[in-house]
A and B are shown apart, each in its own frame.
Chain A
Amino acid sequence: MKDKQLICIMCPVGCHLTINEDLVVDGNKCPRGKVYATEEMICPKRILTTTVKTDSKDFPRLSVKTNKPIEKTLLFEALEKLNHITVKKNVKIGDVIVKHILNTDVDIIATKSLVRE
Chain B
Amino acid sequence: MKQSYDITIIGAGAAGLSAALEAYDDTLDILIIEREKNFGGILNQCIHNGFGLHVFKEELTGPEYAQKLIDLVMEKQIDYLLDTTVLNISKDEVFSIKATNITSGEFIIESKSVILTTGCYERARGHVDIPGDRPKGIMTAGSAQRYLNIDGYLVGKKVFILGSGDIGLIMARRMTLEGATVLGVAELMPYSNGLTRNIVQCLNDFDIPLYLSHTIKEVVGKEKLEKVIIQQVDENRQFIENTEKTFEVDTLLLSIGLIPDVKLFESLSIDTDPLTKSALVNQKLETSVKGLYACGNALHVHDLVDDVTIESRKAGKYAKAYVINQKDIDKKQVPIRFDHHIRYVVPQVVDYHLIDEPFDVLFRATQKHDVLKLVIKQGDQVIRKKTLKYVVPAEMQKVQIKPEDLINDLPIEIMVEEV
Contacts and interface: CB of A to CB of B under 8 A. Distances in A.
Interface of A: 7-12, 14, 16, 46-51, 53, 60-61, 63, 65, 72, 75-76, 79, 93, 111-113
Contact of A93 (B47, B49, B59, B67): B67
Nearest to A54: B152
B218 interface: no
Contacts of B61: 49, 63, 65, 111
Interface in B60-95: 60-61, 63-64, 67
Contacts of B197: 7-9, 12, 14
Contacts of B59: 10-11, 47
A79 B177 contact: yes
B48 interface: yes
A51 B49 contact: no
A60 B47 contact: no
B49 A9 contact: no
B246 interface: no
A49 B152 contact: no
The bracket for how many chain B residues form the interface is 20 to 34
A111 B50 contact: no
Interface string B298-314: 00000110100000000
B177 A113 contact: no
A11 B307 CA distance: 13
Contacts of A112: 63-64, 67
Nearest to B50: A12
Contacts, number: 72
A60 B147 CA distance: 11
Contacts of A72: 205
A7 B196 contact: yes
Interface of B: 47-50, 53, 59-61, 63-64, 67, 148-152, 177-178, 195-197, 200-201, 205, 303-304, 306, 390, 395
Contact of A12 (B53, B63, B64, B152): B53
Contact of A60 (B48, B152, B195, B303): B152
Contacts of B48: 49
Contacts of B67: 93, 112-113
B47 A12 contact: no
Contacts of A10: 59
Nearest to B44: A112
A106 B49 CA distance: 16
A49 B47 contact: yes
Contacts of B196: 7, 14
Quick one: which of A7, A49, A60 has the most chain B CB within 10 A?
A49
Contacts of B148: 51
B289 to A, nearest CB: 33
A12 B390 contact: no
Nearest to A58: B37
A72 B201 CA distance: 11
B205 A12 contact: no
A9 B272 CA distance: 36
